[in-house]
Structure 1
């Protein structure tokens, strides 16, 4: 009787979680439509629908297909990538404050991109499809340094030591990037300033195609590791007892987190806190089982960046506020709130 009750209870929980995930998907579709109508040049919902069905004017098609749709799609993909990266880092470190931006992975990716573009006379000379690879390299080297410094043979990875090491590395990289800006041309300096603020600068279909394979390959891979993440949350001793190769799985998942963060940062700039807020909000909605947490975090992150970019494009027209600043306005207080809840 008890087993049957628990099974029925679990089924209700699963149905509820699926309903929430579908609801998040509908919210993304809703804000997708709102974002298509938002901008310096207004398009009414009817004009958007007509343009989507090929009945709009040349001007409307240019605005929608060449400017707005790529940026909207990139916003969603970037949010998904950063949120899943944060979800992985929180899972493997068992630390509620783990985030690719806070622990320096985003900064490492940014430094690699910045070093590369500093040797080009124009940002248009940067090969689009090479950017995610460069960002992954920078993020990967940074993650290795953080992992080595935070690791102790007898204790493994201490969650607090991981965060503190990452914060220190991020501060050092940020200082190096400030020094590097002194040798940039005015054009590249403007690009770097925009990038650091977290603007969705890669807003054409080439950047969508450069980011899309990373998202399509890595998110299903991470989802396939949902059970592993569930086991890792039980602690190292329990995970080892259940036959999990802890360090091997951690390294694989860390590589996936680094790749997702690096690829996302390469086209969006320094957008922070998405990897922190997305998983936390998703956890509040669907619980800590990664079978539901991973898709919920992806949708929450995509929705967050999409809303932030839409607000940034509309609040001070014709000027724009970078999405990273809008997210930071939300993320910084939320980060302080999480800090206040941590036990000593």
Structure 2
């Protein structure tokens, strides 16, 4: 009973923190609004200029941060369950690089102003991310043996390096506008902060969330010893393949909105497991909340305190996440 009360308090505090940070992020920026003006906008009583800045510019960006951060947080739990490795993240498994290479190719062929780019880019990114992580899986997997966490990470990082080098070669053949778009995406600058992209991606991300959360019980079994999971009647191979597809699609759709963001999934997953027991029914939503909070906090810092610096949100997250990754690597080796 006591643990149940602590869990409810944890989720309530997380939701409150996200609401307060969203309100703060709505108010801060190149031009700051006070709390009264922000509340007037929320209640529909703001003037036209305020509605344009908050409703057309800042609110879509906040929603992108929340959606992408929550999705990346959930994917961190999935990928760590899949690999049995605390270092697993969409970047270390090659999903980011796979999505990035097809996004770069698509931008080199399409005009940036083409509505088709907004419509098809998330689906193209999903295919690229899925294809890359499948290659990573097959390189590191040996028939009849359990997955080697070290091999998965090494294969993913190696493949990411190869694909990232290929992106540089492709961008050398595009015009300046397209090159700027690709560079911004690679650096983690939010690119899908408009209502059209949100209208397309939001329902699909919601379907991914529901599909993944509905498998919480199977994820709990999958996190056990492989022989024990088989003994409990779980089709481990099929479940891993489905898990891989869901995680890759979720990440790729998020990256098409938020740019090349790394470490959010790893950070959100680890922080959640420090506060909650290892039940996926709890860690999945908790990681989503932490992911949304980390993403929105980094973006708010970028927009509010680094005005004029042109530093993308992804750089701020990497500054936070990279040292933590090295700490985990050291602790894992030890």
TM bin, normalised by shorter chain, reads over 0.9
CA RMSD of aligned residues (A): 1.3
- Of residues 84, 107, 110, the one that matches 1:120 is 110
Cα distance, 1:125 vs. partner?
Answer: 4.9
- Of residues 70, 73, 76, the one that matches 2:66 is 76
Hey, what's the Cα distance between the residues in 2 that align with 1:18 and 1:268? 30
Cα distance, 1:124 vs. partner?
Answer: 4.6
Hey, what's the Cα distance between the residues in 2 that align with 1:24 and 1:138? 33
Hey, what's the Cα distance between the residues in 1 that align with 2:294 and 2:93? 20
Hey, what's the Cα distance between the residues in 2 that align with 1:63 and 1:296? 31
Number of matched pairs: 334
Match of 1:95 in 2: 85
Match of 1:217 in 2: 207
Cα distance, 1:152 vs. partner?
Answer: 0.3
Match of 2:222 in 1: 232
Cα distance, 1:168 vs. partner?
Answer: 0.5
Q: Is the 8 A contact 1:123 1:191 kept in 2?
A: no
5+ residue gaps in structure 2?
Answer: none
1:257 to 2:243 alignment: no
Q: Is the 8 A contact 1:101 1:275 kept in 2?
A: no
1:35 to 2:25 alignment: yes
Match of 2:130 in 1: 140
Task: Provide runs of 4+ in structure 1 moved above 4 Å.
Answer: 123-126
1:306 to 2:292 alignment: no
Hey, what's the Cα distance between the residues in 2 that align with 1:123 and 1:146? 34
Cα distance, 1:215 vs. partner?
Answer: 1.8
Match of 1:195 in 2: 185
1:63 to 2:15 alignment: no
Q: Is the 8 A contact 1:313 1:319 kept in 2?
A: no
Match of 1:108 in 2: 98
* TM-score, normalised relative to structure 2: 0.97
Cα distance, 1:12 vs. partner?
Answer: 2.3
Per-residue CA deviation, residues 278-309 of structure 1 (Å, 9 max, x unaligned), is 10111111121111000000000010000000
SS at 1:127 equivalent: helix
Q: Is the 8 A contact 2:98 2:160 kept in 1?
A: yes
Match of 2:261 in 1: 271
Per-residue CA deviation, residues 111-143 of structure 1 (Å, 9 max, x unaligned), is 111100101233555431211101101001101
- Of residues 282, 288, 291, the one that matches 2:278 is 288
Match of 1:156 in 2: 146
Q: Is the 8 A contact 1:99 1:273 kept in 2?
A: yes
Stretch deviating more after TM superposition (119-128 or 47-56) = 119-128
Match of 2:41 in 1: 51
* TM-score, normalised relative to structure 1: 0.94
Q: Is the 8 A contact 1:214 1:259 kept in 2?
A: no
SS at 1:180 equivalent: helix
Per-residue CA deviation, residues 239-280 of structure 1 (Å, 9 max, x unaligned), is 011111101111111111001000001111111001111101
Hey, what's the Cα distance between the residues in 1 that align with 2:119 and 2:9? 37
Match of 1:85 in 2: 75
- Of residues 146, 155, 163, the one that matches 1:165 is 155
Stretch deviating more after TM superposition (196-205 or 16-25) = 16-25
Q: Is the 8 A contact 2:110 2:117 kept in 1?
A: no
1:315 to 2:296 alignment: no
Stretch deviating more after TM superposition (45-54 or 255-264) = 45-54
Cα distance, 1:51 vs. partner?
Answer: 1.8
Stretch deviating more after TM superposition (334-343 or 123-132) = 123-132
Cα distance, 1:198 vs. partner?
Answer: 0.3
Hey, what's the Cα distance between the residues in 2 that align with 1:165 and 1:116? 25
